[in-house]
Structure 1
Amino acid sequence: MQLPDSLQPWSQWLEWFAPDHLPLFADLLGRLNPLLGPLRGRQQGGVPEPDGLGDLQRRGPYERLLSSEWLLAEEVPDEFLRRAAVGEHMFLAPQYRAREANRLMVVLFDAGPLQLGAARLVHLALLILLARRAAEAGAELRWGILQREPALYELGAASNLKQLLNARTYEAVSEQHGQAWRDWMAEQPQTVGECWLVGQRLPEAVPACCTHRAHVQRSLDGQSLLFELRAGGTRQVKLPMPDERQALQLLKGRFEGEAAEAPVINAQVPRVALTLPPVISGAGNYVALRLLDQPGMAVIKLPSPNQKKPLSVRTQLWSSYQHALAVTFLSRELGAVLSSEEALAFWNIPGLAPVKKPSREQLLLPPGTATFLPAAWLRNPNAERVYLLDSQGRLAYWESDRAKALDRSKPRQTHELASGVLGLARVDQFTLAYVRNAGGRLFAQSAAADEARTESYALSVAEGVSQVLFAGNSLWRRHFGGCALLTSKSGNESWQVITPKTVPVIKEYIDLASGWKAIGLLLDVGKDQPSLLLVNAGQRAIGLYSNGQQKLLFTTSDVISRYSFCPMSGLLAVLTSSRELLVYHVASGDLRLQVTCDKEPEHTKEGGDA
């Protein structure tokens, strides 16, 4: 990770943190560092050690006599003796370096209730500052917790910082705690150069070697932190309150961009296939996965933040002679387009009767279940439709018997809406959006459950564009809601982002770093600010590109086999090679669900819930 010049002195420790945490530490380190003052207890000691040659001198042992003097002894021995008698010989003088005595720097933290919240971040920043201070002095840094039994710990990895955060307690520091540390430190054989006490309302009984007292407390108005250092004199600085979201991540020990902890609940999810992506409901309440051992889906209701009851999991099956072309949600209802040899059936979609399977010229449908085709199930008070995009860019739909304008005397059939379609997505409760190629140019359009369609919005030339990502919002009902178009540039992905306020002008060109690809588009409509959701080439990391910078959201222990992003709900669902499902809400940074889908199959009845 490339750090700015201002943070280079602490690069050894800041590499433990995700890039988006660096501004917070840059502020804290920059404000606290000038207060520390000169190092105390740095004295020379030990036996001097040779450190090369320093000078010439007229006295010394003859093993260090200059070689030219020995030549004189061979050629003119009388002169050699004369010089020896009057002290004129020249000797090499070694340079000595005084060895610094072994010193120990100790930091004792108050982990009680008066230091909860943002004050703990000041503890982290101060520990990093003192780690560099000790390294520059050739000293050893050790830290401890005042409320615990006396013991000192190293700072060699991010886990040590997390250990400091996890030491929080609801017990305030007492005089007994101070006395226990005073007695324990007095028994230690190693010399202490500096001893720091950090907290609030620190005890009077402290180790005799204590040299610094750092008081951290919230201001009266609660809008800032006051840091006061007492070491000979008194120095103070006011620290701004950190960003709430970043502070929460750090206080929970999520330094490296890991996802937030998911609710811990009992769960038994059947084994699922690793070849098909998860399906997410538009409202963000459900996720469905293709079962591995049975023809059907496992439907998981996402838990609430404080849920204690077991995870709600339904197993819904279809007939074994059918395979799913597409699976989609309408609210909490899960539906699918199923294919058999001669017909297409609409599973769990009331009102849509089976239709004759269209010819390959009309709709090219895969023979197996290698992937799900893009689809959308829409309903309004007057009509209901299922849209499906085939592998050749043909967008088709089927109407429900509930449609008021449908002539029920006519046979059900497949309707073609558009051709040359590059991609589609459901972007609103009543709307889908798609981009099509017409005459070498790309046009964006939306459709609903009835005949209502928006006008076409010209985007760009079609040449070189291979993929489209859609932003989810209600603007698509009557207008253009935003999308991103993919081109390639020197082997890396390059995206053209078009927002509602800029159409048809390109809002932003985004060139991604090598090995990263975009899988979703988020758009803050009010600020007209787009962001790209990313996955790395190793399929183990999820990132976000926003405001010209890329940050890491979370990493996975195993390779991500399949993923899905829902532009309506902002949920990302990833399925790893170990059949672990993670559902992540991008905007809030919360991990909604983390569960392993590996339960052995049980006998269930076909055609419904199990």
Structure 2
Amino acid sequence: MQLPESLQPWREWLQWFAPEQLPLFADLLGRLNPVLGPLRGLQQGGVPEPDGLGDLQRRGPYERLLGSEWLLADEVPEEFLRRAVVGEHLFLAPQYRAQQASRQMVVLFDAGPLQLGAPRLVHLALLILLARRAKEAGAELRWGILQQAPQLHGVDSAAQLKHLLNARTFHTAGDEHWQAWRDWLRSAAMPVGECWLVGQRLPATDRQTCSHRVQIARSLDGQSLSVHLTSTHTRRVVLPMPDERPAVQLLKGQFAGEVVNAAPAAKGSVPRVSLTLQPVISSAGSHVALKMLDEPGLVVIKLPAKHQKKTLEVRCKLWRVGTTPLTALFFGRAIGAVLSDQFQLTFWSMPGLKPVDKPSLEQLKLPPGTANFLPAIGLQGHGCSRLYLLDTQGHLAFWVVKNAKDTATPGTGQTHRLAEGVIGMARVGRDAMGYVRREDNRLYAHSVNSQGQVSSAHLAGIADGISQVLFAASYHWHHGCGGCALLTLKNQCESWRVMFFNESPREVQRIELAPGWKGIGLLYEGDERFALLMLSPNQQAIVLHRGGDQETLFTTSDVIAKVSFCPLSGVVAALTSSRELLVYAVPQRLLRLQVFCNEQAGNRDGSDA
């Protein structure tokens, strides 16, 4: 790869990146390199060791007195004493050999929430600069994460740089993190020459262990980054925000023209969709549906295979004009909707469900508009199926679906009440639904199977302050409660308590989010371990919080207007303000689809009425 002259010193590391990303590094490396200052810290270690004789001196211990001086003491004692008084004796001076200098440089990065986004690119540039600095000094550069247990990594491949970018944590750097690293470094077999700390709001350090501190902070207007380096002197440089496209590629770990977990190219038009209604995901994670903006109906997209080259499968399904969609859901493999008019509820594209009279407000409070799709789940059983709907007041209702071969199923054509005070529900298994209800200031969790059988109540805790529930899908729901997260707000910050019910209900995890972060989904990872899916404060990143660390799954160029998560398939669908749809499979860490839904009416194909 041809590099400009200004980037030749870092050729060894820049060969891992794509040509279009080099201008970003040219700016960062060029501005940061003069700030680093001269090399220091590779001091001679320990006490010097004797290495033979080196010189004669006028002073010294008498065991090193020159032999001819002792002869003078035997022959002319008065002269010996005179020389001793005036300091004329000659002593042997030993030659000292210094111990080997320290040949290790260490840099510790703050991977907390204060360093998300552009500061991570500064981390990347500093690592490259220090790698060259160490190589020129014949030293070895190793890096670690300040908030993690002491463990050092090399800089010998692009995978190491990606590892640095992915090493994100929700915890800010504290004194306890530095204490653990300081004790570990002091006990290391090889003494450290230079030790760098890089981040924001770094803990207090001592000069003996930490030689350099680099503070990286955004400006108040968000248009630049301020970098302060403190060692023997303090230096400061202001960096402009990098170009968005290459910066996003780098933060996603896309180096050297590769596209990590990229979605296949979507060949096919998708009509304009509404930004006020969330995407609907099938329980198998194979289809996504959205409400069309220009016509009354839904657009259904079949997610492409990993290496699919054929045209994207897009179908548009229309319902009768003059009805209001209350919800949309995949009932089995087909998409359906509950439509409302002045007098009736119609179950569109749901065979076996006949229209019913519109329930009273006391039985089911239905919204007059379409601000959000109401939560709805369809469970298909052997004898009959049921459709469940949760209104905005906590009323959980259902309708019995008559199967084609069944002529005697009771309850069809009626609206049934299942529970009151329900604050959340979700599909938690292929044939199971979970919900949490409030009663007498207590929360109780239930599961419902495909036959309509409701489990006994599992106490989930006190209801005070609980405003939302997230459900994790797992097989534990078949004999209890397989896990949910309860939300409370503390000083406008979200606090999630993850509850698990195996033999008895207990809290297995508590997750405190920083200001602006929002929990949007809960994923069960086995062995009573859960991961919380989050939306970033700027609403442009989907992040996974797991085990105290956080991992950015994908970022968007525009603000995410609506987002949905299916706990059964682990698929998240995000719709941005520019009508870009991104569908991501969390368990596989795979971007399944990235397409713009902005085709004008009349220019589309594949419509079904």
Which residue of structure 2 lines up, in the alignment, with residue 400 of structure 1? 401
Contact 2:291 2:299 in 1 (8 A): yes
Distance 2:123 2:547 in 1: 14
Instruction: Say which SS state the counterpart of residue 262 (structure 1) adopts.
Output: coil
Instruction: Say which SS state the counterpart of residue 475 (structure 1) adopts.
Output: helix
Which residue of structure 2 lines up, in the alignment, with residue 365 of structure 1? 366
Contact 1:265 1:307 in 2 (8 A): no
How far is the alpha carbon of 1:591 from its aligned partner? 1.0
Structure 1: unaligned runs, 5 residues or longer = 40-116, 127-131, 137-154, 167-245
Which residue of structure 2 lines up, in the alignment, with residue 533 of structure 1? 533
Instruction: Say which SS state the counterpart of residue 568 (structure 2) adopts.
Output: coil
| 1:122-133 map, 5 Å | none
How far is the alpha carbon of 1:475 from its aligned partner? 2.1
Distance 1:604 1:17 in 2: 37
How far is the alpha carbon of 1:381 from its aligned partner? 1.4
Structure 2: unaligned runs, 5 residues or longer = 1-104, 140-154, 165-195, 197-211, 213-238
| 1:405-420 map, 5 Å | 407=408, 412-420=413-421
How far is the alpha carbon of 1:531 from its aligned partner? 1.0
Which residue of structure 2 lines up, in the alignment, with residue 215 of structure 1? none
1:552–1:382 Cα change, 3 Å: same
How far is the alpha carbon of 1:28 from its aligned partner? 11
| 1:6-405 map, 5 Å | 6-8=106-108, 37-38=137-138, 119-121=157-159, 249=253, 251=255, 260-402=261-403
Which residue of structure 2 lines up, in the alignment, with residue 497 of structure 1? 498
CA deviation string 1:187-237 (max 9, x = no partner): xxxxxxxxxxxxxxxxxxxxxxxxxxxxxxxxxxxxxxxxxxxxxxxxxxx
Instruction: Say which SS state the counterpart of residue 551 (structure 2) adopts.
Output: strand
Name the TM-score, length of structure 2 as normaliser: 0.61
How far is the alpha carbon of 1:412 from its aligned partner? 1.7
1:123–1:340 Cα change, 3 Å: closer
Instruction: Say which SS state the counterpart of residue 444 (structure 2) adopts.
Output: strand
Distance 1:253 1:500 in 2: 47
How far is the alpha carbon of 1:285 from its aligned partner? 0.3
Distance 1:22 1:520 in 2: 31
Instruction: Say which SS state the counterpart of residue 107 (structure 2) adopts.
Output: helix
Instruction: Say which SS state the counterpart of residue 608 (structure 2) adopts.
Output: coil
How far is the alpha carbon of 1:427 from its aligned partner? 1.3
Distance 2:605 2:345 in 1: 22
Which residue of structure 1 lines up, in the alignment, with residue 437 of structure 2? 436
Name the TM-score, length of structure 1 as normaliser: 0.60
1:548–1:408 Cα change, 3 Å: closer
Which residue of structure 2 lines up, in the alignment, with residue 609 of structure 1? 608
Distance 1:340 1:35 in 2: 74
Distance 1:406 1:363 in 2: 27
How far is the alpha carbon of 1:382 from its aligned partner? 1.8
1:609 maps to amino acid: D
Which residue of structure 1 lines up, in the alignment, with residue 572 of structure 2? 572
Instruction: Say which SS state the counterpart of residue 505 (structure 1) adopts.
Output: strand
Distance 2:256 2:501 in 1: 37
CA deviation string 1:271-315 (max 9, x = no partner): 100110000001000000000011100000000010000100000
Instruction: Say which SS state the counterpart of residue 505 (structure 2) adopts.
Output: coil
1:424–1:448 Cα change, 3 Å: same
Which residue of structure 2 lines up, in the alignment, with residue 484 of structure 1? 485
2:608 maps to amino acid: D
Indicate yes or no: 2:589 matched with 1:589.
Answer: yes
CA deviation string 1:412-455 (max 9, x = no partner): 21000000001001111111110001221101101123232222
Distance 1:360 1:22 in 2: 57
1:6–1:37 Cα change, 3 Å: closer
Contact 1:559 1:576 in 2 (8 A): yes
Distance 2:337 2:130 in 1: 57
How far is the alpha carbon of 1:472 from its aligned partner? 1.2
Instruction: Say which SS state the counterpart of residue 482 (structure 2) adopts.
Output: coil
1:414–1:250 Cα change, 3 Å: same
1:20–1:583 Cα change, 3 Å: farther
Distance 2:256 2:455 in 1: 46
1:311–1:410 Cα change, 3 Å: closer
Distance 2:110 2:372 in 1: 48
Which residue of structure 2 lines up, in the alignment, with residue 446 of structure 1? 447
1:601–1:529 Cα change, 3 Å: same
1:409–1:282 Cα change, 3 Å: closer
How far is the alpha carbon of 1:464 from its aligned partner? 0.7
Distance 2:370 2:507 in 1: 37
1:289–1:411 Cα change, 3 Å: closer
Instruction: Say which SS state the counterpart of residue 476 (structure 1) adopts.
Output: helix
1:461–1:125 Cα change, 3 Å: closer
1:29–1:454 Cα change, 3 Å: farther
Distance 1:408 1:500 in 2: 34
Instruction: Say which SS state the counterpart of residue 539 (structure 1) adopts.
Output: coil
Instruction: Say which SS state the counterpart of residue 506 (structure 1) adopts.
Output: strand
Contact 1:583 1:593 in 2 (8 A): yes
CA deviation string 1:382-431 (max 9, x = no partner): 22010000110000000012298884687721000000001001111111
Contact 1:573 1:583 in 2 (8 A): yes
Distance 1:430 1:410 in 2: 20
Contact 1:435 1:442 in 2 (8 A): yes
Contact 1:16 1:158 in 2 (8 A): no
How far is the alpha carbon of 1:579 from its aligned partner? 0.6
CA deviation string 1:65-96 (max 9, x = no partner): xxxxxxxxxxxxxxxxxxxxxxxxxxxxxxxx
Instruction: Say which SS state the counterpart of residue 582 (structure 1) adopts.
Output: strand
Distance 2:516 2:351 in 1: 44
User: RMSD over aligned Cα, in angstroms?
Assistant: 4.2
Which residue of structure 2 lines up, in the alignment, with residue 516 of structure 1? 517
CA deviation string 1:523-556 (max 9, x = no partner): 112x321111111232112211111123332221
How far is the alpha carbon of 1:259 from its aligned partner? 7.5
Instruction: Say which SS state the counterpart of residue 451 (structure 2) adopts.
Output: coil
1:19–1:477 Cα change, 3 Å: farther
Identical counterparts, % of pairs: 44
Distance 2:108 2:411 in 1: 74
1:303–1:493 Cα change, 3 Å: same
Number of corresponding residues: 416
How far is the alpha carbon of 1:509 from its aligned partner? 1.4
1:411–1:528 Cα change, 3 Å: closer
Distance 1:605 1:585 in 2: 27
1:345–1:507 Cα change, 3 Å: same
1:34–1:539 Cα change, 3 Å: closer
CA deviation string 1:112-140 (max 9, x = no partner): xxxxx9844479999xxxxx9xxx9xxxx
